[in-house]
Structures are given as structure tokens and as C-alpha cells.
Chain A
Amino acid sequence: MSSEARREPLIEVENLYVYFYTYAGVVKAIEDVSFTIYKGETFCLVGETGCGKTVVSRTLTNIVPPPGRIVKGKVIYHRDGEEVNIIKLSEEELRNIRGKEIAYIIQDPSAALDPLYVVGYQIAETMVDHGTVKDFKEGFGRAVRLLKEVLIPDPERRVKAYPHELSGGMRQRVVISMGLSNEPKLLIADEPTSYLDVTVQAQVLDLLRELKGKKGLTVLLITHDMGVVAEMCERVAVLYAGNIVEVAPVDELFKRPKHPYTVGLLRAVPNPLTEIEKLESIPGTVPNLIKPPSGCRFHPRCPHATEKCRREKPPLIRVGPSHYVRCWLYAGKGEEVSRSE
């Protein structure tokens, strides 16, 4: 990682609250989430199903689907030296950012592509809409180059292919090329490989890493797979039940995990390269967020839970350079801060 002084923030999320107003009650999907994504890094949000990782990523371009609403908080986007709050922007201004400055790769490549149009048209469309190219003819030309960049063999022919004519891995490459088409400042990849087989996943991850190096992209990677985190990221935020429980550089997180949830999560993943006698599991399941547990949301599953954990929400504590943890175990062992990096 580059030295501390040169790190420039690109996105700063501050004290974000997102609630979903459902018939069953208010789902407190995200509560008090803060983090910073620096220019040029790969930042990772990791967590289990329903922990709110996708919802967080959606707030970055303000596309939280109803009945969800951003209740509180700021998403500061550093746009050419200017600071804009994404949540306060008008629809029209947002359209200039979405897909152009902040682009998405969603989990399911088949859902991201329209089955009725050839892929070249769909890639060109994103560029025409944002004025990157003047017409579709130029767009198709650019699409061929983009497909070549994402290592699709025979791009001149494939640009005229319909999505169903391509395999899963190929489709995901097309979606990646769409994401890259307007040279975004931030690329959000939401579980980009979880629909793919391992050998293909390895190819797509290699491709993402290569493109990132070549284009100096900033990437927000969302995943549930600790293996993908270890291979791809520089810094990691661990989400549990709508709270960030730990933020740390990747080596630090894997070597010295602090939060009991992170520790449990790392021990629960069977590492194929080591001998494991007995996997340690985390008892219980992820809580319902309509009535989240009081105090620390992890306390019902935590082996170290005390009376205090049940009553009071733990503060965010800085336990090392760039290492933050939200847990009472570390109270007094570091400086209490209002937000993490």
C-alpha cells in the first residue's frame, strides 16, 4: 500500500442508516456505518447473507430499492477536488454519476444483460447515453476493443452475439467491459464471481486484478468468500447484521483478527491448504433485523459476551494503525473514535 500521506479519499460514507419499511416492521438493515474508500485501492466489504453489504453499495449511487430508505448519513464523493453528497444530489445529477463515474458489476451476469439485444449494442448503449461516444457506430468499435481488453476470444464476432450464446464466464466478462466502458472512477463489484465455477472464477479474478493495475481503478468488492478477500483486497470491512464490526488492512485482518465475529468467521472457513482437525463454528444464526439484539448485535452468538455487551452498543476502537474494531473487549486498549477510515 502507498504511504499514509498520499492516500486520497474517493468515497467517504458517514454514519449511514438505511431502513426498510416492510409490513412486518422496520428492518434496520444498516446502522451507523462509516468507512472511506481511497483512490486506487481495492476495498472489500465482507459478510454473510443479509448483513447489508449490497445495501451499502447501493447507497453509493443512491439506488436503494423501496421500501428501503436512507434515513440518515452522508455519502461524500470526491469529484475532481469537489466534495458532493450523493444522497443530496438531484436525479439528473445522479444520472451523470451512475454508470459513468461509479459503475456496477452485479452478481448475476444473466440478469445484467438484456436477452433481446446483442452484447455490442448493450455495451455501446452505456457509452452513448453518457456521451462517451457520439453514436452507436463508434460505440460498436469501442465495444470490440473493450471485449478484447477483457480477454474475450474473437471479439469482432462476439460483439454481435446475444447473451444466450455466451457462457457464464463470458457473460460476466461482457458485464465487466460494460462497467469499464466509461472509464469509471469507482467500480463496484458485487459478488462478481459467485455464480461462476472455480476455474472460471480464478480467470475473472485475475482479469479484475490485471485491469485494476492497468487502469488505476478504485474497486469496491463485495463478497462473502474469505478466499476472494485474501486474494483481491487491500483493506477489508467486516459487516455483521448491519454494523461494521472491524476494518483493517487485509494482512492485519487475517493475522490479527480482533472482533470475535471475524475470528469465528476465519476459523469457520475450511482452508484447503491446511490440515484441519475440527472446524470451529459460530453458534446460532444471523439475527432478524426487525428486532436486532440490544447492545452489540453479535452478543447472542459471542463466546465473550458480558452483561455490558447485552446493554450497550460498543464504541469503535482504534487498535492499531488503520485497524478499527467495534467491541467491548478492546475498550481501554486503544483510542475510541467516531468513525473508521
Chain B
Amino acid sequence: MSEALVRVDGLKKYFPVGGIIFTKGWVKAVDGVTFEIRKGETLGLVGESGCGKTTTGKLILKLLKPTAGKIIFDGRDVTKLRGKALKEFRRQANIVFQDPYSSLDPRMTVFNIIMEPVRIHKIHVDDPEEFVIKLLYEVGLNETHLYRYPHEFSGGQRQRIAIARTLALRPKFMVLDEPTSALDVSVQAQILNLLKDLQRRYGLTYLFISHNLGVVKYMSNRIAVMYLGKLVELAPAKELFENPMHPYTKALLSSIPVPDPELARAKERIKVTGEPPSPINPPSGCRFHPRCPHATEKCRHDEPALKEVGKDHFVACWLYA
């Protein structure tokens, strides 16, 4: 087992709601999350919309200021970084956004888009043009694309440009925030394979955020499942799919439409009722209890902690306490 590159400890992020002067309440987007991302691995982060996955990703990169908690990147506390050290952190840890239509400046050419971070970080390159062409080849584009504008590209190609832009800084760690959910399936596979290739070639560490379980399973070594700002389960990918423990994980897994008609018919679906409640006033105790088929009185009052129940398999549920 390799050492941790990123360690997140008791991370919280509350957003104020309502009122111009007085806040009426807090959206508890991320509420006490602890995990680590090991060097060279892909940690998948799954959950439904509004569960706090993107916020977690942004907090790790210091794009948002946490309400509480610690983030240790490569042995240093990210929340305390300033000046030069912060800039170096920004070079090493990067993000690829979901929507390649809004993450590229429409008035810049591909060359400028990719060179911009290089200039900002004052990284010396001998021949900028050659440098960018090399990057373009790495992501499956070529020199003919050098002086074109984003609107001339398809969604998949734009995502390749966005990936080339982050690679230009030779990062150690990348947050991939739903990098393929704006793309068609035939193109999605191309991008996923590209990301895997790059990881192998450069020893990158990924935090892969997605709501698509099939995609997460394909990409990740370990998977963390989030529900309403909390981690409910964390396990190696294979283990999570073969032996899910938390009732929410079970429901999530059995809800995925399986692209195989025979399996789909044979599959017993574990039903959950209702929809994820609002994170403004999350349910007391275990946040999943109103939808959980196994909820007991204890679940309503006390919050279960994330506990190791098997090798490298963590779950936050009273059923396994």
C-alpha cells in the first residue's frame, strides 16, 4: 500500500442561505468528511446531485475555503498555504471541469489556452509551439488544431484541450469533476481511456467525481460513496460492487440500469422510497434513515461513524457497529 498524497480530515463546508444581513440557515454541503488519496491511485467519489462531491473536490484544491477541517497535500496543510507555496500547490494540483463548453475561453486560440498557465507559472519552455504540439499529440490532437478557437471543436475535443491545459503544468494530482458527463457515450470511452493512459504515463493521482457508477468503477481503484455531505462507505472498487454494505450503496447499485436485458430482468431491485432530502435541514442521526429500509430508533438519534469493517472497507452504518 502506497502512502497518501492527499489526506482530508474532518472537512466541513457550510454555505449560508437566505437573508441579506442575517443568515437564515446553513447548507451543510460537506459535513465532516475524512479520507485519503494514495499516490498513483484513482479515488472515485460518487453520489447523487447535491451530495457535496464537487464541493469536496473544490475544497481539496483550495478553490473554496473550508468551514472546518484539514487538508494535507504531500505533507503540507493546504489551508495554511500562502504566496509562493500556494502557487506551487496550484501547479501540482489541478482540475478538469465537467463542461468543456464553459471551461475554455472562446476568444483564445488553443495555443494560448494551453500556454496561459505555463506563462502564469513562469515555467521555461524553449519552443512554446513545439511544447504545445507535443501536448496536443499526447491528448490525441495535432498541430493543425494549434491556432483554432474552441467553437471549432466538438465536446470530446474540447475536453482533450482542457486536459492538455492541465497537463502543461506537469501536475501530480488532478480532480476530475464529471469529465465525461457532458459527452456522448462513444466519445466518453475515448476520454476515459485517455485519462487512464496519462495516469500510467505520468504517475498521476486522480480524484474522479461522477454520478455514473459504471464509469467510476471502470476508472477507480477505490470508491467513496457520499450521501448528503457525508461519506457512507469507502472500499476498493471491486469490493464495493461485490460486497456493498451500506443500505444506500446497495440501493444505488441496484438502481443503475444495466446494459444487458437478461441481467436487468433477473436483477432484484432494492427499492428506496423518496428522494434525497435538502441539505439545509438534514435528518437527524443517520442522514439516510428516512429512506432506509432497515432504519431503527437508534438511526434516528445517533449518527454512525465511518468504521473499518473489512480490509480497507469502511462503512458508516449502525447495522455493522
Complex A-B: 15 CB contacts under 8 Å: A167-B275, A168-B275, A197-B49, A197-B275, A199-B272, A202-B254, A230-B257, A254-B261, A270-B215, A271-B259, A272-B213, A273-B260, A276-B218, A282-B190, A283-B190
Beta-carbon nearest neighbor of A282 in chain B: B186
Q: Is B55 an interface residue (CB 8 A)?
A: no
Number of B interface residues at 8 Å Cβ cutoff, please give it: 44
Q: Is A279 an interface residue (CB 8 A)?
A: yes
Query: Could you tell me which residues of chain A, from 263 to 293, have a CB within 8 Å of some CB in chain B?
Result: 264-273, 275-276, 278-283, 285-286
In the complex, A273→B267 CA distance in Å?
A: 11
Q: Are A224 and B185 within 8 A (Cβ)?
A: yes
Q: Is B62 an interface residue (CB 8 A)?
A: no
Main SS at interface, chain B: helix
Q: Are B214 and A270 within 8 A (Cβ)?
A: yes
Query: Could you tell me which residues of chain B, from 176 to 211, have a CB within 8 Å of some CB in chain A?
Result: 184-190, 192-193, 211
Q: Is B305 an interface residue (CB 8 A)?
A: no
* Cβ of A242 to closest chain B Cβ, rounded Å: 15
* Further 15 A-B residue pairs, CB within 8 A, beyond A230-B264, A251-B262, A275-B238: A48-B184, A198-B252, A199-B252, A201-B255, A202-B257, A205-B257, A206-B269, A267-B189, A269-B259, A271-B260, A272-B253, A272-B258, A273-B258, A280-B189, A281-B192
Q: Is A231 an interface residue (CB 8 A)?
A: yes
User: For B155, B185, B259, which residue has the most chain A Cβ atoms within 10 angstroms?
Assistant: B259
Which residues from chain A contact B184 at a C-beta distance below 8 Å? 48-49, 224, 286
Q: Are A281 and B261 within 8 A (Cβ)?
A: no
Which residues from chain A contact B258 at a C-beta distance below 8 Å? 227, 230-231, 271-273
In the complex, A272→B257 CA distance in Å?
A: 9
Q: Are A203 and B271 within 8 A (Cβ)?
A: yes
- With beta carbons under 8 angstroms apart, the residue of A49, A197, A228 that contacts B257 is A228
* Cβ of A203 to closest chain B Cβ, rounded Å: 7
In the complex, A265→B188 CA distance in Å?
A: 11
In the complex, A153→B119 CA distance in Å?
A: 58
Query: Could you tell me which residues of chain B, from 101 to 115, have a CB within 8 Å of some CB in chain A?
Result: none
Q: Are A197 and B211 within 8 A (Cβ)?
A: yes
Query: Could you tell me which residues of chain B, from 266 to 286, have a CB within 8 Å of some CB in chain A?
Result: 269, 271-273, 275-276
Q: Is A200 an interface residue (CB 8 A)?
A: yes
Q: Is A179 an interface residue (CB 8 A)?
A: no
* Cβ of A332 to closest chain B Cβ, rounded Å: 28
Do A285 and B154 form a contact, CB below 8 Å, given A270-B215, A273-B260?
yes
Q: Is A169 an interface residue (CB 8 A)?
A: yes
Q: Is B157 an interface residue (CB 8 A)?
A: yes
* Cβ of B130 to closest chain A Cβ, rounded Å: 26
Q: Are A281 and B260 within 8 A (Cβ)?
A: no
Query: Could you tell me which residues of chain B, from 41 to 56, have a CB within 8 Å of some CB in chain A?
Result: 48-49
Q: Is A250 an interface residue (CB 8 A)?
A: yes
Do A268 and B186 form a contact, CB below 8 Å, given A167-B275, A198-B213?
yes
Binary per-residue interface labels of chain A (236-271) against chain B in the complex, 1 for a CB within 8 Å, 0 otherwise: 000000000000001100100000000011111111
User: For A228, A269, A280, which residue has the most chain B Cβ atoms within 10 angstroms?
Assistant: A269
Return the 4 tightest CB-CB contacts between A and B, nearest first: A227-B257, A281-B189, A202-B255, A270-B214
Q: Are A279 and B218 within 8 A (Cβ)?
A: yes
Query: Could you tell me which residues of chain B, from 124 to 165, have a CB within 8 Å of some CB in chain A?
Result: 154-157
Do A199 and B261 form a contact, CB below 8 Å, given A48-B185, A265-B185?
no
Q: Is A135 an interface residue (CB 8 A)?
A: no
User: For A168, A200, A254, A281, which residue has the most chain B Cβ atoms within 10 angstroms?
Assistant: A281
Beta-carbon nearest neighbor of B46 in chain A: A198
Binary per-residue interface labels of chain A (125-159) against chain B in the complex, 1 for a CB within 8 Å, 0 otherwise: 00000000000000000000000000000000000
Query: Could you tell me which residues of chain B, from 204 to 230, have a CB within 8 Å of some CB in chain A?
Result: 211-215, 217-218
Do A266 and B218 form a contact, CB below 8 Å, given A197-B49, A272-B213, A282-B186?
no
* Cβ of B16 to closest chain A Cβ, rounded Å: 21
Q: Is A71 an interface residue (CB 8 A)?
A: no
Q: Is A226 an interface residue (CB 8 A)?
A: yes
Q: Are A264 and B263 within 8 A (Cβ)?
A: no
Q: Is B241 an interface residue (CB 8 A)?
A: yes
- With beta carbons under 8 angstroms apart, the residue of A202, A230, A285 that contacts B260 is A230
Q: Are B211 and A198 within 8 A (Cβ)?
A: yes
